Chains A and B, each alone.
Chain A
Amino acid sequence: MLAMALKELRQLGRDRRTVAMMIVLPVVLLVIFGYAARFDVTSVSTIVAGPNAEGVARTLPDRFNVIATHADWNRDQAEDALRRGQATVGWVTSNGRPTVVLVDGSNLFGAQSALRVLAASSGTVRPEILFNPNLETSYVMVPALMGMILVFIGTVATSLGVVRERQTGTLEQLAVMPFRARDIFLGKILPYFGVAIVDLVIVVIAGLLIFRVPFNGSVPVFALGAILFLFVALGMGVLISTVSQNQGQAIQLAIMTLLPQILLSGMIFPLDSVAIGVRWIGYLLPLTYFVQIARGVMLRAAPLDSLLLPMAMLAVLGVIVSGLSVLRFNRDLAPAGGRAPGGRAARRRSEAAA
Chain B
Amino acid sequence: MTGAGRSTTRSPEDLATGWGVDGVSVHFGHVLALDRVSLWVGEGQVTAVVGADGAGKTTLLRTLVGTVRPDGGRTRRPAKTRIGYVSAGPGVYRDLTVSENLAFAAGAYGVRGRGARDRIEALLGRIELTAARRRLAGRLSGGERQKLALAMAVIHEPELLVLDEPTTGVDPVSRAELWRLIGGLAAHGTAVVMATTYVDEAERAASVLVLLRGRTLLIGTPQSMVGSIPGELYELAERPSSPFAWRQGASWRLWSPDGAAPPEARLIEPSLEDALVIGQLALEAPGGSELAA
Residue ranges of A at the interface with B (Cβ–Cβ < 8 Å): 168-170, 172-173, 175-179, 333, 335-341, 347-348, 350-354
Contacts and interface: CB of A to CB of B under 8 A. Distances in A.
B141 interface: no
B89 A173 contact: yes
Contacts of B67: 172, 175-176, 333, 335, 340-341
Nearest to A173: B91
30 contacts: A168-B89, A169-B88, A170-B89, A170-B91, A173-B85, A173-B87, A173-B91, A176-B66, A176-B80, A176-B83, A177-B109, A178-B79, A178-B108, A179-B108, A335-B66, A335-B69, A336-B69, A337-B69, A339-B68, A340-B58, A340-B62, A350-B88, A353-B54, A353-B58, A353-B88, A354-B33, A354-B54, A354-B55, A354-B56, A354-B57
Contacts of A178: 79-81, 108-110
A352 B91 contact: no
Contact of A337 (B57, B71, B87): B71
B121 to A, nearest CB: 22
Interface of B: 26-29, 33, 53-59, 62, 65-71, 79-81, 83, 85, 87-94, 105, 108-110
Given A175-B67, A177-B108, A338-B27, A168 B94 contact: yes
The 5 closest A-B pairs by CB, nearest first: A169-B89, A354-B58, A173-B91, A176-B85, A178-B80
Nearest to B94: A168
A353 B53 contact: yes
A354 B59 CA distance: 7
Contacts of A170: 89, 91-93
Q: Which of B33, B69, B70, B109 counts the most A-chain CB atoms under 10 A from its CB?
A: B69
Given A173-B87, A178-B81, A338 B69 contact: yes
Contacts of B57: 354
B59 A351 contact: yes
Nearest to B55: A354
A192 B116 CA distance: 26
Nearest to A335: B69
Contacts of B69: 335-339
Contacts of A348: 28
A335 to B, nearest CB: 4
B234 to A, nearest CB: 35
A168 B65 CA distance: 20
Contacts of A350: 58, 88
A330 to B, nearest CB: 13
Contacts of B93: 168, 170
B65 A176 contact: yes
B108 A340 contact: no
A136 to B, nearest CB: 44
B219 to A, nearest CB: 19
Contacts of A177: 80, 105, 108-109
Contact of B87 (A172, A333, A335, A338): A172
Contacts of A339: 28, 68-69
Contacts of B109: 177-178
A168 B28 CA distance: 23
B80 A338 contact: no
A353 B109 CA distance: 29
Nearest to A350: B58
B91 to A, nearest CB: 4
A353 B56 CA distance: 9
B267 to A, nearest CB: 38
A36 B93 CA distance: 44
Contacts of B110: 178
Contacts of B81: 178
A169 B68 contact: no
Looking at B33, B70, B89, the one whose CB has the most chain A CB atoms below 10 A away is B89
A177 B108 CA distance: 7
Interface centre among A176, A336, A347, A350 (most CB of B within 10 A): A176
Contacts of B56: 354
A20 B71 CA distance: 34
Q: Which of B26, B33, B57, B67 is the most central at the interface, judged by chain A CB atoms within 10 Å of its CB?
A: B67
Contacts of B108: 177-179
A114 B54 CA distance: 72
Given A337-B71, A338-B28, A172 B59 contact: no
A338 B85 contact: no
